[in-house]
Amino acid sequence: MERKLHLGFAVAFTAIAALAVSTQSLSAQEHSEEAYGYVHESPNYPSEIWTLAAGGRIYDKWWDALDRDEPEGSNPAYPVTGQKSGSTTWRCKECHGWDYMGKDGIYSGGSHYTGIPGIRGAEGSSVEAILVTLRNESHPYTQEMITDVEMARVALFVSRGQVDMTQFLDMENRKVNAGNADRGREIFQTICAACHGFDGRMLDWGSGDEHNFVGTEAVDVPDEVMHKVLSAHPGVQMINLRAFPYSDAIDVMAYAATLPTGE
C-alpha cells in the first residue's frame, strides 16, 4: 500500500515536472506550435525549390521531418554487411550517405559502411522511375511511414536535388577544401547567426562536456552539414539555402569550418 502511494506520488511529480519543462523552456529540437506547418507540412502551392529541400529532410530523417513515429527495430532490408541497428537503418542517408555516393563515398569504410551503392546514378531520372525503386524490396516503407505524395518529394530530390560534394570536399580526409570564406562569413553573419550565434555556439546539440556546434560539425562531418544547409535540419525551425546558388552554400561551408569547435 505504502509502495503504491509512493509510486503514485512519483508519477504525479514527474508529470508536473514535465509540464513545467514544456511550458517554460523550448528545447532546440522542438518548435513552437505556430511553426508546425512550416516544419512538418507543405505550402498550398509548393515551389520546386521548397519540394527539393523537403525531400532532402525526408532523406535525412523522415520521421522527424514528417512527425511520424520513430520505427521500432531495424530495417529488414539493412544488409548483414553493415554494423548499425535500430531506427537509423531506416534513414536513406544511412545506406546511401550524406554525399549520396554510398560505398563509393565517405561511407566506403568505417562504422557506416554497408556496401550499398549511392544514388548519384539516379540523378536526372524521372520521378516515376525513382518512385518504383522507392517502393521495391530494398525500401520497405509503408504508407503510414511515408505516403506517396511525400515519397514523390524525395524522388524529386533524388532526380534534381543532389549536389556533387566532391566540388568542395577532400574526400580522403573528409575536409572542406574549397569555397570563399569571406563570402561565407557574409552569409553566416546575416542568416545562420540569427539562431546559431555569430560564432556558431548559440545552439549546442552535444551533451555534457562534449560540445557539438556548427563549427564542430563543419570540421568533423562537412558532408552532413552541407546536406542540412541545403535542406535544413528535420523537425526544427531552420532555414535552408536551397533557393540560392550552390556556390553560396560552399562558401558557407568554407567559413563554418573556421568557427570554434569547442574541443
**Shortest CB 1 distance to ligand HEC, Å:** 44
One symbol per residue from 113 to 152: x for binding ligand HEC (CB under 6 A), - otherwise; what is it? Answer: ---xx-x-xx-------x--xx-x-xx-------------
Cα 130 from Cα 197, distance rounded (Å): 39
Residue 213, C-beta contacts closer than 8 angstroms, at least 6 positions apart: 196, 200, 201, 203, 204, 206, 259, 260, 261, 262
Select the residue interacting with ligand HEC from 61, 153, 185, 196 (CB under 6 A): 196
Query: Residue 229, interface with ligand HEC (CB under 6 A)?
Result: yes
Cα dist from 205 to 46, 162, 210, 255, whole Å: 30, 26, 9, 20
**Shortest CB 3 distance to ligand HEC, Å:** 38
Select the residue interacting with ligand HEC from 75, 162, 231, 261 (CB under 6 A): 75
Among 133, 163, 172, residue whose Cα is nearest residue 228: 163
Query: Residue 191, interface with ligand HEC (CB under 6 A)?
Result: yes
Query: Residue 54, interface with ligand HEC (CB under 6 A)?
Result: no
Q: Output the CA torsion 218→222→225→226 (10° steps).
A: 130
**H and E: helices and strands count for the chain:** 11, 2
Select the residue interacting with ligand HEC from 38, 50, 77, 246 (CB under 6 A): 77
Select the residue interacting with ligand HEC from 241, 250, 257, 259 (CB under 6 A): 241
Chain CA centroid to CA 108, Å: 20
3-state SS class at 176: strand
User: Under the rule (CB under 6 A), what is the footprint of ligand HEC?
Assistant: 28-29, 59, 75, 77-78, 89-90, 92, 94-96, 116-117, 119, 121-122, 130, 133-134, 136, 138-139, 154, 158, 191-192, 194-196, 203, 205, 214, 217, 225, 228-229, 233, 236-239, 241, 252, 256
